[in-house]
A and B are shown apart, each in its own frame.
Chain A
């Protein structure tokens, strides 16, 4: 990958998904300093914006930050240019997934969306169980949570499917097109 001439196709796809206003970024750092998980990230949100605009696709998609966003929207509330960095992170995740790239963080999101497509709704118990297969390391917190919630009657494993799954599927298929 060349730092001089980046991947313009990638830049354009990010702009399509996250809005043309991303181009107006002035790299002021307001978003990253507002981010509650910035201290866990390899590349700050600000740098993800820069990578995206420069077409530095591999650096952007390989950043741990892509999967550390909590969607708290504080970046979006504060951006002085009206950019929505949270949506930009979403765009990167979407590109990552559509290219068939795999990662344990991506696996959770993938299972989540697949469940919406299948049933229309989320069953958290089912989701956690399926995720265990993708990331066995999550077993500890899953078990802890399960033990806590089971006696309270808050774990339901029954599947119920909504009527409009076709509509939901077409929302994913049509609106999620590249």
Chain B
């Protein structure tokens, strides 16, 4: 399989491990990635004029002839929204008037969906079964929104399917689609922190050993903010938060460095040790 790859801005900073693990896992699964030559920011959630936002997405889309894959849910949602809106003839002609090359349709994919498709055809490469590992699937908002994407925007189950494919167990996680509050972190730190605390507590209550995410902003909030929250609430949470690509990388037997596990704030190493222990117990 060969896909165009849109890394997104965070691939070069706060989401380095997302980008690294995506490239490593795709290589291991024989998915060839061709990075868009001159990709630009999708606008994230900070370009309020939708026409501009669509234009920014379209500028990236027209650089590829292949289906475009991204690992970031925000980029994914923006690209998908652009594809949907560009079906409106007036919007398309308006946007095409500005672009250097005509937009003529595209297929957008998320790395989760790509990996799941490959593994469902052939799971022999999964050499480290994540047996008994309790995983909280955290979808956040944008993996399945706007509607019409790879799963239900209200009660998605694709991550549960993914977790099952890795032989792990998904926990019943009530807040799995509750917004992490990331976009209001700067102006309303306290409010955002309260939301993140609720989500982490919910995962704890469900006995999760690890939370998996598909969005770098969710990841930043749940992982990098965890220590601050622990200090603020004087309470140990200590739950590692991995990108789906990192979790599948572990199951593929890939090394911590290749998956950027050392870049996670809450270290997953103890959890990985447990995985190996359980494997040898058998």
Contacts and interface: CB of A to CB of B under 8 A. Distances in A.
Q: Do A and B come from one complex?
A: yes
Interface of A: 17-18, 36-37, 40, 67-74, 76-77, 87, 89-94, 97, 104-105, 108-109, 112-113, 116, 120-125, 131, 135, 138, 140-141, 144-145, 148-149, 152-156, 162-164, 167-168, 170-172, 174-176
B51 to A, nearest CB: 4
Interface of B: 9-10, 12-16, 38-41, 43-56, 59, 77, 94-95, 97-100, 141-142, 145-147, 153-154, 178-179, 181-189, 191, 195, 220, 224-225, 227-228, 262-265
B141 A72 contact: yes
11 contacts: A36-B178, A70-B183, A72-B145, A94-B48, A108-B186, A122-B44, A123-B9, A123-B12, A148-B224, A167-B59, A172-B55
- The 9 A-B pairs at the shortest CB distance, nearest first, are namely A93-B48, A90-B48, A72-B141, A171-B55, A71-B45, A73-B145, A36-B179, A72-B179, A120-B40
Given A124-B13, A167-B59, A153 B46 contact: no
Contacts, number: 179
Given A71-B183, A162-B38, A171-B98, A140 B46 contact: no
B257 to A, nearest CB: 12
B98 A76 contact: no
B66 to A, nearest CB: 19
Nearest to B54: A175
Max count, chain A CB within 10 A of own CB: residue among B16, B41, B53, B183: B41
A74 B141 CA distance: 8
B48 A124 contact: no
A73 B98 contact: no
A49 B186 CA distance: 25
Contacts of B99: 167, 171
Nearest to B224: A148
A125 B48 contact: no
A112 B46 contact: yes
Listed residue (B15, B49, B97) with the most chain A CB atoms within 10 angstroms of its CB: B49
Contact of B51 (A97, A123, A175): A175
